[in-house]
Structure formats: C-alpha cells, structure tokens
C-alpha cells in the first residue's frame, strides 16, 4: 500500500523506477501503470533478472530491491542490493543492505542516507587533500615546529570526525 508514495518519492529524487517480476504480463503491467513506474519486465526467471540488471548497469548505477530466494543472484549483480525484512536468509546474505522493517518507505530513506553519507565522504576527502597538499610541505620545509604540525594534524582529524558526526543530525531529520 505504500508503493505509490515510494515510487513518487524515488522519482522525485531523480531515480528511474522499474519492476522485474516472474508474474504474468497482465498483472505486472496493471501494477506498473497504477504505480507509474518507468519500466517493467514480466515473466522473468531469476537468471534473466541478472541479465536485465547487467544491461541496466551499462547505462548507470542500479539499486535492486528483492525479498525472495529468486532475487539472490539479482541482489549480487546490482550495484546496491537491498533485501527486504521478510527476505529469505540467502537473499539477506546476498544483499548489500537489509531493511529490517517490511516497509518500502525504507528505500527512499536508505537512498537519501547513502547520498548524504557520500557527500560527507567527499567533503572529508577534500579537506584532507587540502591539508596534505598545503600543510605537509610547509612542515617538511621546516616552516612550522613539529608541535604545530602535530597540532594541525590533530585539528584536521578532529574536523573530519566532527563533520562525519553531522550525519547523526541529518539521519534524525530524514523521514521514515
């Protein structure tokens, strides 16, 4: 019942959304139209899911969400495999992440958390690069004392940790 909201949110985040199912064309088409997804595949065997995902990966990153033993191979083929809480053990092991609640609203939450985490990693790498390309050569030339160099390194490390801790506040504001 939460699927229409989830599809709308994911599309609003810039994702293309699709359905890959072993179900009949008529059933899959009906659901796809009701949800407004971008693409759908029906009558697909587990091995065929892997091929579809592989072809999609050539066009960009793929996140695959599955909940059954038939999804295990597809979960490993995707760039990010997400197993739902009701997933069979093998699917949960095959995925990169497991949503513990059996609620599709966890998917946009998870994707937003990934985006925010990635942004923090990029920020931290940028500031570490700035530090290493400016302060280390200055210290190597003897322009600062070893104590000041150690202090600057400590401040650099502290800034990375504090910037990463900001994710905790971002995480609290995300809706799920």
As a whole number, mean pLDDT of residues 56-63 equals: 94
pLDDT one-digit tens code per residue, 66-116: 987 889 899 999 999 999 876 667 777 888 988 888 889 999 999 998 999
CA distances from 161 to 121, 128, 166, 175 (A): 11, 12, 9, 24
Cβ-based neighbour number of residue 24 at 10 Å: 11
* pLDDT exceeds 90 at position 55: yes
Q: Residue 76 has what pLDDT?
A: 93
Paired sense of beta strands 18-20 and 39-41, if any: parallel
pLDDT one-digit tens code per residue, 8-39: 999 999 999 999 999 999 999 999 999 999 99
pTM of the model: 0.80
As a whole number, mean pLDDT of residues 47-66 equals: 95
Helix, strand, or coil (residue 60): coil
């Amino acid at each position: 019942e939460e699927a229409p909201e989830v599809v709308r949110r994911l599309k609003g985040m810039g994702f293309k959304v699709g359905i890959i199912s072993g179900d009949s064309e008529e059933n899959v088409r009906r659901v796809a139209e009701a949800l407004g997804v971008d693409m759908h595949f029906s009558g697909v065997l587990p091995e065929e899911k892997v091929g579809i995902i592989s072809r999609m990966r050539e066009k960009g990153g793929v996140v695959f969400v599955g909940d059954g033993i038939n999804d295990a191979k597809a979960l490993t083929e995707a760039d990010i495999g997400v197993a739902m809480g009701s997933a069979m053990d093998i699917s949960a092991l095959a995925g990169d992440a497991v949503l513990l609640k059996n609620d599709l609203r966890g998917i946009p939450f998870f994707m937003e958390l990934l985006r925010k985490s990635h942004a923090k990693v990029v920020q931290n790498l940028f500031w570490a690069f700035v530090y290493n390309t400016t302060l280390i050569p200055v210290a190597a030339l003897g322009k600062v004392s070893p104590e000041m160099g150690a202090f600057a390194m400590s401040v650099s490390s502290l800034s990375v940790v504090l910037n990463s801790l900001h994710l905790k506040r971002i995480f609290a504001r995300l809706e799920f």
